Structures are given as structure tokens and as C-alpha cells.
Amino acid sequence: MEFCTAEREGRLFLVTINRPEVMNALHPPANFELEQIFNEFCADPELWVAIITGTGERAFSAGNDLKFQAESGGAVGAPPTGFGGLTSRYDNFKPVIAAVNGVAMGGGFEIALACDIIVASENAIFALPEPRVGLAALAGGVHRLPRQIGLKNAMGMLLTGRRVSAEEGVRLGFVNEVVPQEKLIDSARRWADQILECAPLSVRASKQCAMEGMRSGSIEDAMGQRYEELYSMLKSEDFIEGPLSFAQKRKPNWKGE
């Protein structure tokens, strides 16, 4: 890989956007590399949680590489799974954590919004500034942000392109935790470790039910839907192992099957 890296740490997959010279902005080759990396994560039964971050302390990702786009005649070029290989990946029910180091703007913020948990460094800055350059946040930002922080708060960001600090992100509700820069990855790993203590099929069933249930008009409708990950959990060995380990007062041995 030329524009990103991926490291395995047991069940954890650590993905790093590696274009610090352009504040980790993404051009088409980087987008397709990230798609390939997250395809690997989704397909590998041994990988249960992913963290995505950016190289350096200045930026998680400044979004779309506008200079590259201008020099290439307006070409954007994102894979079917969306910007960063994540923003249109609707069939991944494994948890993904964004460790946001510095600037997360435009598509960079949209990648973070597509993740399940956002841990931010104290110097993190979030914005969807697309209207300021004649664009719109069409990699999910205009839809995810209102669902995550409410319509009025979202419109206050979407219509102005204003910058939001990490602390304000917590108050608005899209940031889970703010930590010093030097503790960012350790904090993201701590969140990942807590997820890894849980049964992986239970985690995926919970994510699918929560995400797909929001498509329903009522809680009753959501509870009446069929969720494949839920049925996989109910038929699994882990569904037996959980209560058994609790009764035997021991740590469960999750198999993910």
C-alpha cells in the first residue's frame, strides 16, 4: 500500500491514512486502497474491530484532495463502498472506531461519521465546509449528521461550513471522548478492548439492529424486522458459551461462531 497502512494486533485492525504532506486528504488511488483494506477487514473472520486514524498530529483527513481534483479536470473517483472505502459500506456490522488526530474536514469528517465511535484528540477540528467551495457533503455527511446530532445542530454546521472543536463535538453528541494527542491511539485501543470483551456476534447483531432499525418509522416496526446478524447470534456456539461461562464464574471463550 502506498497511501495507507494496516496492522493486525490480534483481533484488532489498525488502519492509518498516510498522506501527511496533504493533511491526509484522499485522491482516487488512496480511496481505492482504503476500500481494499476494509474489504480485507470485513472478509476476515479473525478480525473483529478496526481503528482508523491519520499519520501525524495535524490531520485525520482534510477530505477530498481538491488540488488533485482540480489538476485532473474535476475527477473525484470513489469506489462503490464510498469515500475512504467506508461512507457507503452499509453491509459491515463489525465495529469501526475513528481516532481523530487534528483536522477532520469534508470527506474526512464523513469517514469519522461513518464509524461507530469517535475518539478525538484535544486539537481535533471537525467541519463540512463543502458549500464554501461550491460543493456539498454528499459522502453521507448531509444525512448522517442530522441523524446523529439533530436537525438544528446539524443545519448550523451544514449551512455555514463552520469549524467545531472536539469539546463542542462532545456537547453536540458526535464525539465519544476527547483525550490528549499522545493518548489518542491508546484510548481508541481501550474502546476496542472493551468491545473485544463482548461476544463478536452479539456486537454485530447489536450494530445491525441499531443501524437498520432506524429505517423503520416506529420502534414496533424496527423490532418486527428480520436481522440476519441477530439470527446468526442465536444459532451460534457463543450464544451457549455466554450464559455457561457466567454460571461457571469464568471468562467466556468467544469463538465468533
With 80 as the cut, is the pLDDT of residue 23 above it? yes
Annotated catalytic, 110?
yes
Residues in the chain: 257
Alpha-carbon torsion angle 118, 119, 123, 125, nearest 10? 0
Domain ranges of the chain: 4-196, 200-247
pLDDT digits (tens, 9 = 90+) for 211-225: 999 999 899 999 999
Residue 32's pLDDT band, with cuts at 50, 70 and 90, is: very high
The fraction of the chain above a pLDDT of 90, given in percent, is: 93
Alpha-carbon span 140 to 193, nearest angstrom = 28
At the topology level, CATH places domain 4-196 in: 2-enoyl-CoA Hydratase; Chain A, domain 1 (3.90.226)
Report the distance separating Cα 17 and Cα 51, nearest Å. Answer: 11
Catalytic residue among 71, 110, 177, 237: 110
Residue 60 has pLDDT above 90, yes or no: yes
Between 78 and 175, whose confidence is greater? 175
pLDDT, tens only, 106-165: 999 999 999 999 999 999 999 999 999 889 999 999 999 999 999 999 999 999 999 999
Its pTM surpasses 0.75? yes
Is 212 annotated as catalytic?
no
Residues in contact with 208: Cβ distance below 8 Å, sequence separation at least 6, in sequence order: 93, 227, 228, 229, 230
Query: Angle at Cα 256 formed by Cα 144 and Cα 236, nearest 5°?
Result: 105
Question: At a CB cut-off of 8 Å and minimum separation 6, what does 190 contact?
Answer: none
Q: pLDDT over 70 for what percent of the chain?
A: 98
Catalytic pick from 33, 35, 122, 130?
130
